[in-house]
Structure 1
Amino acid sequence: MTPSTPPRADPAERSRAIVDAARRVAETEGWSAVTVRRLAAEIGFSQPILYRNFPGGRDEIVEQVMIEGFAAMADELADPVGEGDRLAHVVHTYLAFAQTHPALYEAMFEARTRIVFATVQTPEPLRAAFGAFLRAVSAAGMAEQEAVVRAELLWSTLHGVARLAASERLDPALEQARLGAIIALFVS
């Protein structure tokens, strides 16, 4: 028998269940295990119900995971309360986020999507996360273009460190020295 959705299920609740199931499967088995068929079986919905909520199928589901991931990252990267060092906060928080949420991080940065970065069409959660980098590297009197380039370089540096650390290509004994060096590179 084909699973089906309860007739009165709220579309927002169905979407939430689908996205949560995608993250759960990815966290335990990797993104290759996330298929529409697998998600339907996982949550007891029929495949047509999944496509009704996400007409773009798996790719659209992963995009939603990605957007939610950037929203969560933006929240964590937000200016620290009572702390004055935004740069150190961004460096430490970003790398901790990547380490704590490896499947989510992979979806955010390595999944092929239709989402465009660095344009007016970029979804707000992505712009909010980038805003934390921008605030961390901006200095009084700095030209906007220079600040954006520095923010992109900080983000790129941290992404490289996060990926190399995840694949155990960096010496863990050097972590504090590495973080200190990154911060020193970007101090205004």
Structure 2
Amino acid sequence: MSIVDRKERQRAERYDLIVAAARDLAEAEGWDAVTTRRLAGLIDYSQPVLYSHFKGKADIMAAVANGGFEELATRLRTQTAMGTPDVLRNVCAAYLEFARSQPVTYEAMFVLPTQIKFASADTPIALRATFAELLAALGPDRPSPELLAEVLWSALHGMVVLVQSERIPARGADVRLDVLVQSFGRQSR
């Protein structure tokens, strides 16, 4: 391995270490606790090293969010690839389970302010892939499919935020999911 290759690999490893440390710290203490000073201390690097990878906390949160989009897209793709008659329900359930199991990452993805652009030419590939899986779950030949997928996504997001903020009880989630899926008129592709 050349010196350049080794340095690039080390740089990528540092990047991943910073992102993982930020996510872990946010899970333990919330995003307010995530600062470049704290992260530098946690990973045993100086703040300038962190700044060589990220402009600041917002960029670190965006990196956590992008990793979340990649994982969410993969989870949804797994459900759409199965092609089962209840693909829409399975995709929606996978979305809700992702949000439930990774609330800090979900918060970085959809709640906290970031520079991530939605519905634009600058939208990250993983975010586009997530949206594409929602479109696929709705099935072909639907009128205004993008608009329908946006409404579905909005409803799922609303369910997540309302449960996480304890505005609605976590119990009854399956019933709400059934109502949502039925509202979209069919459960299969």
Tell me whether the two structures share a fold, i.e. TM-score over 0.5.
Answer: yes
Structure 2 counterpart of 1:38, one-letter code = R
- Displacement of 1:35 after TM fit? 0.5
Partner of 1:4: none
- Give me the whole-angstrom Cα distance separating, in 2, the residues matched to 1:172 and 1:114: 31
Secondary structure (helix, strand or coil) at the match of 1:121 reads coil
User: Between Structure 1 and Structure 2, how many residues are aligned?
Assistant: 177
Partner of 1:93: 94
- Give me the whole-angstrom Cα distance separating, in 2, the residues matched to 1:112 and 1:170: 24
Note closer, same or farther for the CA distance 1:33–1:161 as it changes in structure 2 (3 Å cut): same
Secondary structure (helix, strand or coil) at the match of 1:10 reads helix
- Displacement of 1:136 after TM fit? 1.5
Partner of 2:23: 23
- Give me the whole-angstrom Cα distance separating, in 2, the residues matched to 1:176 and 1:64: 31
Kindly report the root-mean-square deviation, in angstroms, between the aligned alpha carbons of the 2 structures.
1.5
- Displacement of 1:90 after TM fit? 1.4
Partner of 1:41: 41
Partner of 1:108: 109
- Displacement of 1:43 after TM fit? 0.5
Correspondence list, 1:1-188, <5 A? 10-54=10-54, 56-78=55-77, 79-81=80-82, 83-140=84-141, 142-143=142-143, 146-188=144-186
4+ long deviations beyond 4 Å: none
Q: Structure 2: where are the runs of 5+ without partners?
A: 1-6
TM-score when normalising by structure 2? 0.88
- Displacement of 1:16 after TM fit? 0.6
- Displacement of 1:31 after TM fit? 0.4
- Displacement of 1:58 after TM fit? 1.1
- Give me the whole-angstrom Cα distance separating, in 2, the residues matched to 1:83 and 1:96: 19
Structure 2 counterpart of 1:77, one-letter code = L
- Give me the whole-angstrom Cα distance separating, in 2, the residues matched to 1:135 and 1:128: 10
Map Cα deviations across residues 83-111 of structure 1 (whole Å, 9 max, x no partner). 33221111101111110001000000012
Give percent identity, aligned residues only: 42
Note closer, same or farther for the CA distance 1:68–1:172 as it changes in structure 2 (3 Å cut): closer
- Give me the whole-angstrom Cα distance separating, in 2, the residues matched to 1:171 and 1:34: 29
Secondary structure (helix, strand or coil) at the match of 2:96 reads helix
- Give me the whole-angstrom Cα distance separating, in 2, the residues matched to 1:160 and 1:120: 25
- Give me the whole-angstrom Cα distance separating, in 2, the residues matched to 1:114 and 1:179: 31
Judge conservation of contact 1:67–1:108 (CA < 8 Å) in 2. yes
Structure 2 counterpart of 1:45, one-letter code = Y
